[in-house]
Amino acid sequence: MRLISRTRDELARIAPERACCRRAELAGLIGSLLRGGWPADERLELTTESAGAARRLIHLSKQVLGGAGPVAARRRERLRRTTVYAVALPTSAVRGFWEAVDRDHPPDRACCQQAFTRGAFLGAGFVADPERGYHWEVVTARPEAATRLARALSAMGLAAGTGRRRGRLLVYLKTGEDIASWLGQVGAHHALLAFENVRALREVRGRVNRRVNAETANLQKTVTASLRQLADIEALRDGPGLEALPPSLRELARLRLEHREASLAELGRLLEPPLSKSTVNHRFRRLARLARRLERQEGGRRSPSARGSPSGTTGPNPLPDRR
């Protein structure tokens, strides 16, 4: 079952006990269903594709607006088998109620904040299946409805974002943490459980991926370093020869030639006596300095003045010209 259906079904079955919360939920519901302006007609028709939302709207407006409650409710089939539920309410009663919302219930009351967001979500909310990413939103045509909703979510400790989509206003939550917290606070416990199961899996998968990436990066670093060390050692071997190196470096150079993919720590363990990774690293730096010195000597021998000169290729222990 999709998370959105599960959440909607569950929220539609919650009946707030307190009168303050019933008013808040009705305000949230109406706010998300209202269109741009107030109709000139004395009947205000609110439509929704959710049977649960229509049921809550009828029920709550009877309880809250009393005699000014619903005047008509009907079911309409539309193209592509979409069913739309329409509830007609007296425009003046709804308008009076909506305009008094801020005055009527204090925005700092937690129970009412939760109820307001529950109503807004029932009317025009969407929550994505967590497998596809974390996204929760309510779309509304009314700026004051968006502002109230964002304020209620903030009061619930959630980081609500606002935006626009095709001329309508968008209030959204973007983290798994916030969506889970909202589901819990409004009482959608089954939806929360389903959400958290997937979230836990995703987080484990994310951790494993991060670890694999880190290990791949380390391996890459080891390989790159090894290739550099091998180039240095081969230059020294082909130049003065490994025998010309001090014994401590000679042994390490031989080991590196034999174990081309070993890490510094592994090479350290192969040495007799074993050496720490940092000592091995230090010795490779010494090898690198010797290789640089050899390079400079070769470079000097290859400089235009030396090039072609017979003295450049003679002498004791001649370094081969590897151009």
Give me the residues that bind Zn ion (CB under 5 A), please: 18, 20-21, 111-112
Q: How many C-beta neighbours within 10 Å does residue 107 have? A: 15
Contact 192, 14 (CB under 8 A): no
User: Which is closer to Zn ion, CB of 59 or CB of 202?
Assistant: 59
DSSP string spanning 87-137?
A: EEEEHHHHHHHHHTHHHHS-TT-HHHHHHHHHHHHHHHEEE--GGG---EE
Measure the CA–CA gap between 116 and 153, rounded to whole angstroms: 9
Minimum CB separation from Zn ion for residue 70, in Å? 23
Minimum CB separation from Zn ion for residue 98, in Å? 17
User: Which is closer to Zn ion, CB of 29 or CB of 255?
Assistant: 29
Measure the CA–CA gap between 15 and 52, rounded to whole angstroms: 12
> Tokens at residue 241, please?
């020869």
Minimum CB separation from Zn ion for residue 171, in Å? 20
Minimum CB separation from Zn ion for residue 67, in Å? 23
Nearest to 28 by CA among 184, 177, 186, 191: 186
Minimum CB separation from Zn ion for residue 84, in Å? 30
User: Which is closer to Zn ion, CB of 85 or CB of 182?
Assistant: 182
> Tokens at residue 181, please?
């917290």
User: Which is closer to Zn ion, CB of 27 or CB of 146?
Assistant: 27
User: Which is closer to Zn ion, CB of 29 or CB of 235?
Assistant: 29
